[in-house]
Amino acid sequence: MSDEESNDTTEPLAQDGADDPDVETDGGAVDPGDGVGGDDAGFAPEEPTAGEDFEPVQVFPDDETMDLRPGADDCYKCSTCDVNCPVAEVDDDFPGPKFQGPEQWRLKQSDEEYTVDESITSCSNCMRCDDACPSGVPLSQMHNEARGEYVDEEMSLLSAKYWRNRILANYRISASIASLAPGLANAAMNFGPARWVVEKTLGVTSEREFPAFAEQTFREWWTARGGAAASRENAREARERRGEPIDADKRVAYFHGCYANYNTPEVAKALVRVYEHFGYELVVPEQRCSGTPMFANGMLSDARRDAEVNVSSLADLVDRGYDAVCSCTSCSMAIRQEYPELFSFEGTGEVAGSTFEALEYLRIHEDLRGDLADASVEGFDDLAYHAPCHARNQGLSRQAVELFRELDGVTVEDVGDSCSGISGTYGWKEEKYGVSMEIGEEMFEHMESAAGETGLTECPTCSMQMEHGTGYEIRHPLEVVEEALVGDRAGA
Amino acid sequence: MAIESDVLVIGGGLAGLSAAIAAAREGAHVRLVSYKQSTLKQASGLVDVLGYVDGEPVADPFERMADLPDDHPYRIVGESGVREALALFDEVTDYRGGHTDRNALVPTHGGTVKPTARYPASAAPGLASDDRDALLVGFETLVDFDAPLAADHIEAAGVPFAADGATVRFPGDLRADAKVTRYAHLLDEDRAVETDGGRRLPAREALAERVRPHLDGHERVGFPAVLGDDDPAGVRAALSKGLGADVFEVPMGPPSLPGLRLADRLYEALDEAGASVETGVPVVDYEGEERVERVLVDRKGAEVPYAADQYVLATGGLVGKGVESDREGVREPVFDCRVPQPADRYDWFEDAVFGDHAFARFGVDPDGELRPTDERGDPEFENVRAAGSVLGGHDFPAEKSGAGVSLATGRAAGVLATEEL
Please report which confidence band the pLDDT of residue A42 belongs to, taking 50, 70 and 90 as the band edges.
Answer: very low
Spatial distance between the Cα atoms of A444 and A50, rounded to a whole number of angstroms: 62
Please report which confidence band the pLDDT of residue A108 belongs to, taking 50, 70 and 90 as the band edges.
Answer: confident
Which among A248, A398, A397, A268 has a CA at the least distance from the CA of A325? A268
Question: Is the alpha carbon torsion for A177, A183, A184, A187 positive or negative?
Answer: positive
Pairing of strands A281-283, A251-255: parallel
Q: Which of A3, A80, A355 sits opposite B46 (nearest CB)?
A: A3
Q: Which H/E stretch holds residue A238? A: helix A227-242
Using the Cβ of B352 and the Cβ atoms of chain A, whether some distance falls under 8 Å is answered with yes
Which among B230, B233, B250 has a CA at the least distance from the CA of B241? B233
Which among A340, A278, A280, A341 has a CA at the least distance from the CA of A315? A340
Question: Is the alpha carbon torsion for B311, B317, B320, B321 positive or negative?
Answer: positive
Q: What pLDDT digit, counting tens, does each position of B324-344 carry?
A: 998 889 999 999 999 999 999
The pLDDT of residue A197? 83
Q: What pLDDT digit, counting tens, does each position of B194-235 carry?
A: 887 788 999 999 999 999 999 999 999 999 999 999 999 999
Please report which confidence band the pLDDT of residue A64 belongs to, taking 50, 70 and 90 as the band edges.
Answer: low
Q: Which H/E stretch holds residue B116? A: strand B113-116
Q: Which of B254, B277, B397 sits opposite A80 (nearest CB)?
A: B254
Q: What pLDDT digit, counting tens, does each position of A297-340 carry?
A: 999 999 999 999 999 999 999 999 999 999 999 999 999 999 99
DSSP string computed for A280-323: -EEE-------SHHHHHTT-HHHHHHHHHHHHHHHHHHHHTT-E
* Closest CA in chain B for residue A8: B110
Question: Is the alpha carbon torsion for B361, B362, B367, B371 positive or negative?
Answer: negative
> Given a cut of 80, is residue A43 above it in pLDDT?
no
The CA distance from A89 to the nearest CA of chain B, in Å, is 6
The CA distance from B290 to the nearest CA of chain A, in Å, is 24
Spatial distance between the Cα atoms of A392 and A398, rounded to a whole number of angstroms: 8
The pLDDT of residue A302? 95
**CA-only gyration radius of chain B, Å:** 23
Which among B365, B277, B402, B384 has a CA at the least distance from the CA of B15? B402
Spatial distance between the Cα atoms of B390 and B15, rounded to a whole number of angstroms: 10
> Given a cut of 90, is residue A57 above it in pLDDT?
no
Query: Which residues on B lie below 8 Å from A364 (Cβ)?
Result: 1-3, 304-305
Q: Which H/E stretch holds residue A331? A: helix A329-333
Contacts of the segment A358-361: beta carbons below 8 A, 24+ positions apart: A358/A271, A358/A274, A358/A275, A358/A325, A358/A326, A358/A327, A358/A478, A359/A396, A359/A399, A359/A400, A359/A403, A359/A477, A359/A478, A359/A481, A360/A394, A360/A396, A360/A399, A360/B299, A360/B304, A361/A252, A361/A323, A361/A325
Q: Which residues between 39 and 58 in chain A have a beta carbon less than 8 angstroms from any beta carbon of chain B?
A: 39-40, 45
The pLDDT of residue A55? 54
Give A106: exposed, middle or buried? Use CB within 10 Å, 0-12, 13-18, 19+.
Answer: middle
Using the Cβ of B51 and the Cβ atoms of chain A, whether some distance falls under 8 Å is answered with yes
Query: Which residues on A lie below 8 Å from B320 (Cβ)?
Result: 1-2, 134
Share of chain B above pLDDT 70, in %: 100
Mean pLDDT within A170-194 = 87
Contact A131 B317 (CB under 8 A): no
Contact A4 B299 (CB under 8 A): no
Count of H-run helices and E-run strands, chain B: 10, 19
CB A209 within 8 A of CB A468: yes
User: With a cut of 50, which residues of chain B have pLDDT below it?
Assistant: none
Query: Which residues on B lie below 8 Å from A131 (Cβ)?
Result: 36-37, 279-280
> Given a cut of 80, is residue A255 above it in pLDDT?
yes
Using the Cβ of A134 and the Cβ atoms of chain B, whether some distance falls under 8 Å is answered with yes
The pLDDT of residue A65? 60
The pLDDT of residue A112? 82
Contact B253 A5 (CB under 8 A): yes
Please report which confidence band the pLDDT of residue A9 belongs to, taking 50, 70 and 90 as the band edges.
Answer: very low
Contact B403 A38 (CB under 8 A): no
Q: Which of A5-19, A82-96, A392-406 has the lowest mean pLDDT?
A: A5-19
Q: Which of B110, B301, B349 sits opposite A352 (nearest CB)?
A: B301
> Given a cut of 70, is residue A491 above it in pLDDT?
no
Q: Which residues between 72 and 101 in chain A have a beta carbon less than 8 angstroms from any beta carbon of chain B?
A: 78-80, 82-85, 88-89, 92-93, 95-96
Question: Is the alpha carbon torsion for B384, B385, B388, B390 positive or negative?
Answer: positive
Using the Cβ of B200 and the Cβ atoms of chain A, whether some distance falls under 8 Å is answered with no
Q: Which H/E stretch holds residue B278? A: strand B276-279
Using the Cβ of A176 and the Cβ atoms of chain B, whether some distance falls under 8 Å is answered with no
